[in-house]
Structure 1
């Protein structure tokens, strides 16, 4: 008996030790795979902060003291079940005895279900693990305004951080001073940044040409840039600011007083003698710029546009006296930041949910009608039940039910499949719907493309983006079909891989890009007739010079987000036009209906239905945000980006152009 008890105890001890031994074996295996010659340091985001629902950059400093290495950086997210759902991959090479900097960009899809931490692995070309580490990030709420400050004076603007009652209602700024070496080399790395302030900072000495190009592209894509001069007229020479700033700089001048400040911010400012040093400048010829504040005909605050972005330039150093300890500096900042942050050229950006709503409007995805299904099931029940019984009874062959029932089930199953195939089709459908935002007199376009991929059968797909400056993400709703876990590869051509779709299912994606469209879009000889009593526009005429290389149709003009005039179609090059606007103020739905009636859109035509849905969302967004100015809206059906999948697909392309018309001195 004692031997039996001892045997049972030993048996249970062995069972209990199995998980521990397996865990030890696993840890040992990982340690054996790690290469002591390779070390890595991670620097995520800006000061390890990340803004939700935006792209962000991870900088990696990798040291290799061993042999030449080729492989991939693999970044994975983890959900609360400790499972990774999305991975990003980037090919790298590490020569012997080198320290190299790499940057990898993580999409909003990467953070949909993570725990605010991620892992980075280094694997060779065979998939063997060489290095693995985990890193956490600090999340910034979407309601917060993220402000990056490039300055030698670290912490000089920290008084702006946190909830503020004297900037604008519910304002909540986070001021960060990023490590210069970790600044992104691609514009997408600044996706979550709302404002960048440059003050007392040498771009030429601190940033390389690639980092400067990334900043310039971020500005063109719609960034907001505030520049405070350090008092040197040539401080921006040979940098991207020399090109985008609307000013020609001359020399320094001492101003003994700043009386104009009271008119601008509501409060005067005292200056000790001899005065304050400012940079004297003048607006470049044929450049649109607005002087917000001047003293003795010297521009002190100037605002202008660069692509879809906006720049505010201060001719003085905001970090020095008399501004540094000015009692009313918060009132001044409130005026400056409100003008910069809220005055958006085209405040239209669809959410992933809104994009999916449009992409999923595919006839192939619509189920059969309830009445059709009811009739089909009724016929099936009648055939397999009473009809089968009475026919076999008539011929006294009821024992044949063992044959007739399976045969009828087979034929009805085949009929069901054929009906589904006929209604849903057997073609792969690749749909691309782009929102193209342009600023008049600028050729740079901000392109936001929504992509859907309809699969008629269970298959695996890959999407290739032929330019490295196109940044894709997976926006497939998890409520449809099943969670779609993908691999995003970053390189000379970015791609999305491992797209596993079921039969008659759809995957949806989004891609951001920016590039020049030929020589842009211009309006000349513009004459605007405004009602002096109401401020409403009456009529307008001018010449549209379309050098985007694209014909536009179903064109309309929207003024102050509430008045509309229909133009129709414009061709490339020169188009003269004259239009009358509706006499009363319309809301977003009324604007959409007015435009669709003029276009003669047909609800049963899928392209027309898509146009109305997307145009409606844009017009409602403009009206909701009370956007001011003159916006041109038009459509084009030519491919804008080279986006390919690894199968032959039927392509559907629609491009909505939104062009901001700069109203200068054309009002009469």
Structure 2
């Protein structure tokens, strides 16, 4: 009987436990995931990547965390987490924006935790939670058009069909994003009619942010653009129209394929705009910079029936985007990080060290000799001497550590680049911690920050750093920092209220003169004017102060700031030398990677806190070295004879074959030009008074070889002329080779090239005011 009862109880217990386990299993969250990446399926390496996970819960209520790895450029990364709650049967979209997403190697999948990401239980899910690989590499350009009819789409498709570097899509009913970073992979957007009028204010503002960050917008005629960029239209277009003959149009387009006359609206260039296709009397397409981006505007509706003209537009306008599209931020962060990671060594002066040792000997000697001998306790010497030595060593260590025992040390280096719209700061910060716990850094959502570390796989970045996204602030958690270990982060920050300097500087009769007014909230010290390889010292400028500049110089024109080739700098340990080293690394990072355009620079230093970073539960003594740079239009006044040296001319290159590669930006090491045909342009300084000049000579020097041939373009005769000598000097009709907007054009042909390196051609112009 007892056996039967025991067996029955066993069966009942088994059934109850099985039922409970079944209930628990059934009650667990059952999650299904679907992933969408990119903008209209455009995903590009090294650009911000919008990622959306559509998550559905088919089980019990879920309360936990979702996490995705985000590798940043080539310098580091972290996991990004968000809190998520889902009721039974509920679906939610979780949005991540991976800034300058670098894939490296390794699968990148969404991870879901019940609870938090550090101690919570990892859950499995069904569906697809993997971020796919990029479809475009860093050199390719993504072009969008919005609601173009087929008769406009087909010529554009044909123009880019053989160009592996360009991807084109025409979007109909496009749902525009409200975050400017979502556009990051898009190089060019083409709009017609008033399609942007239907966008909400948030969508229009996102478009504006994309332009300021480096995007290019192409608009036909005088169509609608958001109010905030209306002032940046390159053309003021009238309602009146005019016709130009096909011969004149062919001359402007430099083609012979146009068989009909062209109708365009009367127009005028706005301030700082440049003609891309046209001459002084007739502008067909113009361009104007807006922040780091540009607006390109035509004075006519698309020439829909002529493929050659559409292709010419693509070559002349859109190939320029490649230079704007390239980002060098990873190199910049690496150089900045080299400076911040180097902390002053434990330093102790010889005099102080000698004084402490002398006191030790003075105290230990008499103590041993007089006190112990008188007390007859000389056996105590065996422990007094080592303890005294230990205390002396501890004293030396405590003094030499200079507060490292009581607080952490932080060094921040940043480059703050001021544009018309805002200031963009690129920074690295290294912390020498006096703790071995997790390091928590908090910043507003407008600050992007990530851990600096070398990773080979995306899946590894979340093992050492996690970014928790909040409503107003984000917190970067650096996991398991070492005691007295150096931890580094990199980041970007934009501030539309930063302010701008008022710079009125130029060279007149061998004198660099003018004024600089500091309208910033920071005092500036060691201010310089950077022109070419030269740096002219200005001094200190307090906030609100205006200083006058008056220096004799040998140059006649200011030029684009250039970086001299420099070997790796030696990292010193002395504090004074270390500060100089850190400043030099910041200068090199700015010159090599961030300064673009054809203008000189005003650069100054600020030691104040600019990047709003806060440490949670950690006492930190921070030093700041902020390099603030702003380019400017020089005041140009031609008095008497002048010489325009090569470095005062801004070069540009356009591939005419669609398959070539050229890099002419690093002038110090020569040009890198692959096989192919190219058009090279040299632009005179901005606002150069071409009409008020009488030219004396044009000197062009290069080395013709069997693989390298060049021609110069004659604007009057609309043809190229061969350059067959090592040095060509033209003294007659020089104006025929200079366009009305101050450009010279050359044709370069490279054949059977084994080494793409070629010596940079040298160009010099001489003239005088009329």
Match of 1:106 in 2: 98
Taking the aligned partners of 2:324 and 2:102, their CA distance within structure 1 comes to 30
Q: Flag the 1:339–1:498 CA change in 2: closer, same or farther, 3 A.
A: closer
For residues 126-525 of structure 1, the aligned pairs below 5 Å read 133-139=128-134, 143-153=138-148, 156=154, 157-159=156-158, 164=163, 172-175=165-168, 184-193=177-186, 195-200=187-192, 202-204=194-196, 207-221=199-213, 223-229=214-220, 231=221, 233=222, 235-238=223-226, 240-251=228-239, 253=241, 255-257=243-245, 261-268=249-256, 270=258, 272=260, 275-276=262-263, 278-283=264-269, 287-294=271-278, 297=281, 299-318=283-302, 320-323=303-306, 325-326=307-308, 329-342=310-323, 350-364=331-345, 421=401, 426-439=406-419, 442-466=420-444, 468-477=445-454, 485-491=464-470, 492-524=472-504
Taking the aligned partners of 2:134 and 2:185, their CA distance within structure 1 comes to 11
Alpha-carbon displacement from aligned partner over 1:546-599 (angstroms, at most 9, x marks no partner):
32222222122222x33332222223343332233455999744999xxxxxxx
Match of 2:109 in 1: 118
Please, which runs of 5 or more residues in structure 1 have no aligned partner? 1-25, 79-83, 165-170, 373-400, 531-537, 593-601
Taking the aligned partners of 2:403 and 2:498, their CA distance within structure 1 comes to 42
Alpha-carbon displacement from aligned partner over 1:430-483 (angstroms, at most 9, x marks no partner):
2222111123xx2411111212222123121111112x221112213469xx98
Q: Flag the 1:350–1:113 CA change in 2: closer, same or farther, 3 A.
A: closer
Displacement of 1:626: 9.2
Match of 1:552 in 2: 524
Q: Flag the 1:151–1:283 CA change in 2: closer, same or farther, 3 A.
A: same
Displacement of 1:73: 3.9
Match of 1:612 in 2: 584
Please, which runs of 5 or more residues in structure 2 have no aligned partner? 1-20, 354-381, 568-573, 640-770
Match of 1:541 among 513, 527, 538: 513
Taking the aligned partners of 2:280 and 2:562, their CA distance within structure 1 comes to 44
8 Å CA contact 1:57–1:184 kept in 2: the answer is no
Alpha-carbon displacement from aligned partner over 1:91-142 (angstroms, at most 9, x marks no partner):
467799987655311245x746542532254867896759564224232565
Match of 1:660 in 2: 631
8 Å CA contact 2:188–2:217 kept in 1: the answer is yes
Q: Flag the 1:212–1:412 CA change in 2: closer, same or farther, 3 A.
A: same
| SS of corresponding position for 1:449 | strand
Taking the aligned partners of 2:69 and 2:325, their CA distance within structure 1 comes to 35
| SS of corresponding position for 1:204 | helix
Q: Flag the 1:72–1:150 CA change in 2: closer, same or farther, 3 A.
A: farther
Q: Flag the 1:49–1:197 CA change in 2: closer, same or farther, 3 A.
A: closer
8 Å CA contact 2:507–2:636 kept in 1: the answer is no
The more displaced of 548-557 and 48-57 is: 48-57
Alpha-carbon displacement from aligned partner over 1:307-349 (angstroms, at most 9, x marks no partner):
233322223344x5144x22x6444422213444437999887
Q: Flag the 1:408–1:238 CA change in 2: closer, same or farther, 3 A.
A: closer
The more displaced of 182-191 and 66-75 is: 66-75
Match of 1:650 in 2: 621
| SS of corresponding position for 2:182 | helix
| SS of corresponding position for 1:51 | coil
Match of 2:758 in 1: none
For residues 12-91 of structure 1, the aligned pairs below 5 Å read 33-35=28-30, 40-61=33-54, 72-76=65-69, 86-91=78-83
Q: Flag the 1:431–1:296 CA change in 2: closer, same or farther, 3 A.
A: closer
8 Å CA contact 1:67–1:95 kept in 2: the answer is yes
Displacement of 1:501: 1.0
Taking the aligned partners of 2:95 and 2:578, their CA distance within structure 1 comes to 42
Taking the aligned partners of 1:200 and 1:122, their CA distance within structure 2 comes to 47
Displacement of 1:281: 4.4
TM-score where L is the length of structure 1: 0.69
Taking the aligned partners of 2:173 and 2:28, their CA distance within structure 1 comes to 34
Alpha-carbon displacement from aligned partner over 1:171-209 (angstroms, at most 9, x marks no partner):
83344567976754333334444x222233755356433
Taking the aligned partners of 2:325 and 2:265, their CA distance within structure 1 comes to 27
Superposition RMSD on alpha carbons, in Å? 5.0
Q: Flag the 1:650–1:150 CA change in 2: closer, same or farther, 3 A.
A: farther
Q: Flag the 1:175–1:321 CA change in 2: closer, same or farther, 3 A.
A: closer
Displacement of 1:428: 0.9
Taking the aligned partners of 2:431 and 2:161, their CA distance within structure 1 comes to 43
Q: Flag the 1:626–1:428 CA change in 2: closer, same or farther, 3 A.
A: closer
Displacement of 1:511: 1.5
Displacement of 1:657: 1.3
Q: Flag the 1:577–1:605 CA change in 2: closer, same or farther, 3 A.
A: same
Task: Tell me which structure has the larger Cα radius of gyration.
Answer: 2
Taking the aligned partners of 1:65 and 1:354, their CA distance within structure 2 comes to 50
Q: Flag the 1:88–1:68 CA change in 2: closer, same or farther, 3 A.
A: same
